[in-house]
Structure 1
């Protein structure tokens, strides 16, 4: 039996098949496969600075399912319909230099193949932020935070896959979708800005100040309850606020997590030691239970970069810490699945991933080299 290899229009020499491999092994054949649409039991973990990409893990098995091609300093969002993965990213024609290209890249959720690229004028270059790129609850609009040269938001039509316009938003950042309205954002004057009809007239209103950005800032990677259209914020001292979104958001009075756990509230005073929230992605929210999972550490105010030593589970409606879960390793990021039996994923500064039972905190499995970056889960 013989085989012939064609190189362009030139035929290579005919070689007996058995001579190609002295052991008589059959040549490998490459193939492709597909994966299921985004699942509520999956975790999406950025690899961080070590490598590009966002890995997809099945929380129940701990196995890696695939990878979304996300470059350095990029932000990923999941299409609410489960058809696409979106990556807001910036690339250079010569790797680390050359012509800069800013875009929202669209990947098919089942094949992970490139669908298209949506060119945008610019975007902020910063890592570890979950609120720099958000998609509206109906999947129609994408909002990309921009800082070139001033603070603004790029509005993208995700259905038509076209850039629409840039809305200037001075003094504000950390975006959250606001269904039927547009989007909202936290501002340095302690207010919540709301942009109505961002693809059209784009009118901007502000709430009354409800936090002191210079004294007790809010963590940028806050939580969002899609079903209740409510954002949940935590400050550096552990004060919890909620905002029912709409044309005129209704913001609750804050409450102290430490007081909710039976301690004195934490303060901003120097040398005052207490339990404080902290690290890069300090919280995750399970909408079905109405529970906020917060990474906590013992320290002083302004220790907000310290990794978590415990997880405090806060019943937001009851304003009570209902469970405290010990961590087998100090954690840098946290995510939670949205089912009735929630699973937690935490990762360490070294990239070790640990899956925990969301109710008991029991360790279920470990994932070596899971990734050092932010964790995303599918909203219900």
Structure 2
């Protein structure tokens, strides 16, 4: 006796294969690479330190006009970022350990093509660079794009010099008692010293130190310390202090020259202080200085600010106040005729935008991880 199930199976096997449904042929995948245009003045580069792990930093490239993400770079442990003056290359200054957070340490300058964001090369440097929560002035590129300077602390202080054209490390310069780097001139850099003075180092064409000069202290770190990430207009650096003083230093010569200090505080501004991480910004075209402010007492210098005060740098007078929707930890201003103020809110992982002219809120960019620093092209 033949079972019904056997008959069904036989009929199924007898079905001609030609009546099976045809399968569409998918085109083969093709890899494509987007090319970024020349950076616009309202582009902003936001450095995410990757807290709480910090082993992989990232840099978000954002069009401030549209608040759209344009691209992203990856870095290492507590990386820093620089862009070449001609906007052809971007640099991540990285530290890596062979066992993620321990083991053999390697420090490198990683070079990327600025249009494709493709890796180009890397230059190994001494494993000495200062490892702290990212600060802008632990690295600098000279205005001619020739040298990249990296501040070291082991705890001895020095500066590593990389020849970006030759793609090689060319030497280390001791800066005893002085740390960080500002490079407003092609063959000079300056470092802030523990006693409140500035050391200026003059370089030769090979990147070696030709001259060092340390001037007199321009502020008293025991009475009113300054924040160590100044705003720069040309060759002048604007340092804001914990109590609201503005110290202006001309770094164009072989020795720093201090201008008369002035205060951001008026007669009715009692209780207000600068605070945050990147607390001061500038727009050179309009001659404006922006200071992140909060209300607080002594040693509240790391408190986020709920206002940005805008000053005419030449007249040393406040011209407006921008009330922030979300307290900010760092600020930056675009370098054009109609500047935008970018305010980074660390805890909220976002960046808010405001017009510098009247403080109008423009919008927000979310999901930025731990945004500590903002840079411009």
* TM-score, normalised relative to structure 1: 0.87
Alignment partner of 1:34 is 2:35: yes
Alignment partner of 1:321 is 2:318: yes
2:309 to 309, 312, 331: 312
Given that 1:43 and 1:375 are in contact with CA atoms closer than 8 Å, whether structure 2 keeps it comes out as no
d(CA) in 2 for partners of 1:43, 1:112: 15
Residue 345 of structure 1 deviates from its aligned partner by 1.2
Alignment partner of 1:218 is 2:215: no
Residue 214 of structure 1 deviates from its aligned partner by 2.4
Alignment partner of 1:204 is 2:212: yes
2:368 to 353, 367, 370: 370
d(CA) in 2 for partners of 1:310, 1:320: 16
Gaps of 5+ in 2: 1-19
2:241 to 235, 244, 249: 235
Residue 78 of structure 1 deviates from its aligned partner by 0.9
SS in 2 for 1:104: strand
**1:190 — aligned with what?**
196
Given that 2:230 and 2:238 are in contact with CA atoms closer than 8 Å, whether structure 1 keeps it comes out as yes
For residues 236-279 of structure 1, give each alpha carbon's deviation from its aligned partner in whole angstroms, at most 9, with x where no partner exists: 111101111121222112111103xx436xxxxxxxx6100000
d(CA) in 1 for partners of 2:327, 2:370: 13
For residues 12-38 of structure 1, give each alpha carbon's deviation from its aligned partner in whole angstroms, at most 9, with x where no partner exists: xxxx9965x8xx766654322111133
Gaps of 5+ in 1: 1-15, 265-272
1:282 to 265, 279, 284: 279
d(CA) in 1 for partners of 2:186, 2:87: 21
In 2 relative to 1, CA 201–363 (structure 1 residues): closer, same or farther, beyond 3 Å? closer
Alignment partner of 1:334 is 2:331: yes
Given that 1:52 and 1:71 are in contact with CA atoms closer than 8 Å, whether structure 2 keeps it comes out as yes
Given that 1:89 and 1:104 are in contact with CA atoms closer than 8 Å, whether structure 2 keeps it comes out as yes
SS in 2 for 1:93: strand
Residue 283 of structure 1 deviates from its aligned partner by 1.3
In 2 relative to 1, CA 17–371 (structure 1 residues): closer, same or farther, beyond 3 Å? farther
Given that 1:292 and 1:315 are in contact with CA atoms closer than 8 Å, whether structure 2 keeps it comes out as yes
Alignment partner of 1:134 is 2:140: yes
* 1:109-188 equivalences in 2 (<5 Å): 109-122=114-127, 123-188=129-194
d(CA) in 1 for partners of 2:225, 2:272: 17
Given that 1:40 and 1:377 are in contact with CA atoms closer than 8 Å, whether structure 2 keeps it comes out as no
d(CA) in 2 for partners of 1:365, 1:299: 28
Given that 1:347 and 1:370 are in contact with CA atoms closer than 8 Å, whether structure 2 keeps it comes out as no
Residue 148 of structure 1 deviates from its aligned partner by 2.3
SS in 1 for 2:335: coil
In 2 relative to 1, CA 281–17 (structure 1 residues): closer, same or farther, beyond 3 Å? farther
SS in 2 for 1:306: coil
In 2 relative to 1, CA 115–325 (structure 1 residues): closer, same or farther, beyond 3 Å? same
d(CA) in 1 for partners of 2:362, 2:21: 49
For residues 276-322 of structure 1, give each alpha carbon's deviation from its aligned partner in whole angstroms, at most 9, with x where no partner exists: 00001111111111111111000112100100110000112111111
* TM-score, normalised relative to structure 2: 0.88
SS in 1 for 2:265: helix
SS in 1 for 2:40: coil
d(CA) in 2 for partners of 1:52, 1:168: 28
**2:15 — aligned with what?**
none
Given that 1:216 and 1:237 are in contact with CA atoms closer than 8 Å, whether structure 2 keeps it comes out as yes
**2:11 — aligned with what?**
none
**2:14 — aligned with what?**
none
For residues 108-136 of structure 1, give each alpha carbon's deviation from its aligned partner in whole angstroms, at most 9, with x where no partner exists: 00010111111111211112200000011
d(CA) in 2 for partners of 1:378, 1:56: 10
Of residues 213-222 and 77-86 in structure 1, the stretch that sits farther from structure 2 once superposed is: 213-222
Residue 162 of structure 1 deviates from its aligned partner by 0.9
For residues 56-108 of structure 1, give each alpha carbon's deviation from its aligned partner in whole angstroms, at most 9, with x where no partner exists: 00000000000122223011011001010011111112322232111111110
SS in 1 for 2:137: coil
SS in 2 for 1:131: helix
SS in 2 for 1:30: coil
d(CA) in 2 for partners of 1:137, 1:358: 26
Aligned residues: 349
Q: CA RMSD in A?
A: 2.0
